[in-house]
Amino acid sequence: MRRGFVWLLAGTAAALAVLAAVGGAAGEWVPGVWGAACAGAAGFVVPAVWDRVKERRDRVRTELERRSAAVARLAEVSDEMTAPPAMPTVPRPRGTGDVVGLLRPQRAVVAFIGREGELRRLREWCHADGRNGGDGVSVGGGGGGGTGAAVALVTGTGGVGKTRLALRLAEELRQRGWSCRWVRAGGEADVVTTVREVGAAPVLLVVDYAETRTGLRALLTAVAGSRSGQGGPERDSRRLRVLLLARSEGEWWERLQGVPGPVGAAVAGAVTVALEPGVLPRWPERQLVAEAVPQFARALGIPPPRHAEVTLADEGVPLLVLHAAALVLVLRAREAGAPGAPAALPGAALPVAALPVAVGSAVLDELLRHEKRYWYESAAIAALTGPGGLDTTAVQRCVAVTSLLDADSEAAAADLLSLVPGLDAPWCDPLRRRTARWLSTLYPGTSPGAVGPLQPDLLAEHHIARQLDRSPEMARLIGLRLDASHARRALTVLTRAHAHQPGVEAVLEGWLAARLPELAEAAVTVAVETPGPLGPLMARVLAEADLPLTALQHVKRAIPYPTLALAEADMVVTHHIVEALPEEATPERRAMWLEALGLAFHQVGRRMEALAPMEEAERIRRRLVRLSPEQHRPGLAACLSSLGHRLAEAGRVPEALTAAQEAVGLYRDLAHTFPSSPDRYRPALAECLNSLGMRLSEAGRVDEALAATQEAVDLELVGYAPDRRPHVLAMLLHNLGNRLFEAGREDEALAPTREAADLYRELVRHAPDRHRPGLASCLNNLGNRLSDAGLRAEALTAAQEAVDLYRDLARTSPDRYRPGLAACLNNLGNRLSDAGREQDALVSIEEAVRVHRALHRELRQGPRRDPVRFPYRAQARTNTDRADVDRFRHALAASLRNLGIQLTAVGRDVEARAAHAEAASLTGDGPP
- What is the secondary structure of 496-528 as a DSSP string? HHTTT-TTHHHHHHHHHHHHHHHHHHHHHHHHH
- Tens digits of residue pLDDT in 831-840: 999 999 999 9
Please give the model's pTM, rounded to 2 decimal places: 0.72
Percent of the chain predicted with pLDDT > 70: 78
Letter string b/e over residues 258-279, b meaning 16 or more CB atoms within 10 A of that residue's CB: bbeebbbbbbbbbbebebebeb
Q: What pLDDT is stored for residue 352 in this prediction?
A: 42
- What is the secondary structure of 578-608 as a DSSP string? HHH--TTS-HHHHHHHHHHHHHHHHHTT-HH
Q: What pLDDT is stored for residue 83 in this prediction?
A: 47
Distance between CA atoms of residues 57 and 69, nearest Å: 18
- Tens digits of residue pLDDT in 255-309: 787 777 788 778 878 888 888 765 465 667 777 888 888 898 888 888 887 766 6
Residue 284's CB is within 10 A of a number of other CB atoms, namely 12
Q: What pLDDT is stored for residue 553 in this prediction?
A: 95
Half-sphere exposure of 78 (CA within 13 A, CB side): 29
φ, ψ at 182 (rounded to 5°): -80, 135
- Tens digits of residue pLDDT in 651-666: 889 999 999 999 999 9
Answer yes or no: is pLDDT of 768 > 90.
Answer: no
* Residue 319 amino acid letter: L
Q: What pLDDT is stored for residue 16 in this prediction?
A: 45
- What are the Cα distances from residue 585, in Å, to 99, 613, 631, 636? 63, 16, 18, 18
Q: What pLDDT is stored for residue 878 in this prediction?
A: 41
* Residue 629 amino acid letter: P
Banded model confidence at residue 432, pLDDT cuts 50, 70, 90: very high
Q: How many residues does the chain have?
A: 928
What sign for the dihedral angle of Cα 97, 98, 102, 106? negative
Q: Are residues 561 and 766 in contact, defined by beta-carbon separation less than 8 angstroms?
A: no
The closest of 826, 849, 850, 829 to 839, measured between CA atoms, is: 829
Summarize the confidence of residues 127-149 as an average pLDDT: 40
Under DSSP, the state recorded for 696 is H
Answer yes or no: is pLDDT of 927 > 90.
Answer: no
* Residue 749 amino acid letter: A
Banded model confidence at residue 226, pLDDT cuts 50, 70, 90: low
Strand partners, 451: 407, 444
Answer yes or no: is pLDDT of 237 > 60.
Answer: no
Q: What pLDDT is stored for residue 122 in this prediction?
A: 92
Distance between CA atoms of residues 45 and 41, nearest Å: 6
Apex CA 295: angle with CA 289 and CA 296, to 5°? 80
If one compares 430 and 60, the residue with the highest pLDDT of the two is 430
DSSP SS3 for 152: strand
Under DSSP, the state recorded for 150 is G
Q: What pLDDT is stored for residue 22 in this prediction?
A: 41
Distance between CA atoms of residues 809 and 285, nearest Å: 33
Distance between CA atoms of residues 848 and 829, nearest Å: 9
- Tens digits of residue pLDDT in 778-787: 999 999 999 9
What sign for the dihedral angle of Cα 907, 910, 913, 917? negative
Q: Are residues 71 and 347 in contact, defined by beta-carbon separation less than 8 angstroms?
A: no
| Backbone torsion region of residue 250, taken as left when φ is above 0, otherwise alpha when ψ lies between -120 and 50, otherwise beta | beta
Residue 830's CB is within 10 A of a number of other CB atoms, namely 22
Apex CA 830: angle with CA 827 and CA 833, to 5°? 150
Low-confidence winner among 575-579, 584-588, 651-655, 675-679 (lowest mean pLDDT): 675-679
The distance from CA 816 to its chain's CA centroid, rounded to whole angstroms, is: 23
φ, ψ at 412 (rounded to 5°): -65, -40
Low-confidence winner among 11-25, 208-222, 733-747 (lowest mean pLDDT): 11-25
Q: Are residues 821 and 851 in contact, defined by beta-carbon separation less than 8 angstroms?
A: yes
Q: What pLDDT is stored for residue 131 in this prediction?
A: 39
Distance between CA atoms of residues 198 and 194, nearest Å: 7
Half-sphere exposure of 644 (CA within 13 A, CB side): 26
The per-residue pLDDT of the chain, averaged, comes to 81
Summarize the confidence of residues 542-559 as an average pLDDT: 93
H helix and E strand count, the chain = 36, 8
What sign for the dihedral angle of Cα 35, 39, 40, 41? positive
Helices (H), 417-456: 429-442
The closest of 786, 832, 782, 777 to 806, measured between CA atoms, is: 777
Q: What pLDDT is stored for residue 867 in this prediction?
A: 47
- What are the Cα distances from residue 381, in Å, to 331, 377, 440? 22, 6, 15
Question: Highest mean pLDDT: which of 34-48, 387-401, 595-609?
Answer: 387-401
- Tens digits of residue pLDDT in 820-857: 999 999 999 999 999 999 999 999 999 999 998 888 88
DSSP SS3 for 310: strand
Percent of the chain predicted with pLDDT > 90: 42
Q: What pLDDT is stored for residue 111 in this prediction?
A: 87
Apex CA 399: angle with CA 503 and CA 105, to 5°? 85
φ, ψ at 502 (rounded to 5°): -60, -15
- Tens digits of residue pLDDT in 867-905: 445 444 444 444 445 556 777 788 888 989 999 999 999
Distance between CA atoms of residues 594 and 613, nearest Å: 5
Banded model confidence at residue 53, pLDDT cuts 50, 70, 90: low
Summarize the confidence of residues 506-516 as an average pLDDT: 95
In angstroms, the first-to-last Cα distance of the chain is 97
Q: Maximum distance among all alpha carbons in the chain?
A: 143
Low-confidence winner among 428-432, 808-812, 825-829, 886-890 (lowest mean pLDDT): 886-890
Q: Are residues 601 and 610 in contact, defined by beta-carbon separation less than 8 angstroms?
A: yes
Answer yes or no: is pLDDT of 697 > 60.
Answer: yes
- Tens digits of residue pLDDT in 37-48: 444 544 555 566
Strand partners, 195: none
The distance from CA 266 to its chain's CA centroid, rounded to whole angstroms, is: 15
The closest of 633, 660, 667, 621 to 644, measured between CA atoms, is: 660
Answer yes or no: is pLDDT of 95 > 90.
Answer: no
Reported as type and span, the H/E element at residue 393 is: helix 392-404
Distance between CA atoms of residues 650 and 639, nearest Å: 17
Q: Are residues 510 and 479 in contact, defined by beta-carbon separation less than 8 angstroms?
A: yes
φ, ψ at 346 (rounded to 5°): -55, 130
Q: At what angle are helices 504-529 and 484-497 packed, to 10 degrees?
A: 110
Answer yes or no: is pLDDT of 174 > 60.
Answer: yes
Strand partners, 151: 242
* Residues whose CB falls within 8 Å of the CB of residue 204, separated by 6 or more in sequence, listed in order: 81, 126, 169, 170, 173, 178, 179, 180, 181, 241, 242, 243
* Secondary structure string (H, E, C) spanning 15-68: HHHHHHHHHHHHCCHHHHHHHHHHHHHHHHHHHHHHHHHHHHHHHHHHHHHHHH
* Residues whose CB falls within 8 Å of the CB of residue 737, separated by 6 or more in sequence, listed in order: 749, 750, 751, 752, 753, 756, 781, 785
Residue 224's CB is within 10 A of a number of other CB atoms, namely 23
Banded model confidence at residue 342, pLDDT cuts 50, 70, 90: very low
The closest of 674, 671, 711, 669 to 689, measured between CA atoms, is: 711
- Tens digits of residue pLDDT in 347-378: 334 444 344 556 566 788 888 888 888 899 88
| Backbone torsion region of residue 301, taken as left when φ is above 0, otherwise alpha when ψ lies between -120 and 50, otherwise beta | left
Distance between CA atoms of residues 224 and 776, nearest Å: 30
Q: What pLDDT is stored for residue 140 in this prediction?
A: 28
Letter string b/e over residues 691-727, b meaning 16 or more CB atoms within 10 A of that residue's CB: bbbbbbbeeeebebbbbbbbbbbebbeeeeeeeebbe
Q: What pLDDT is stored for residue 34 in this prediction?
A: 44
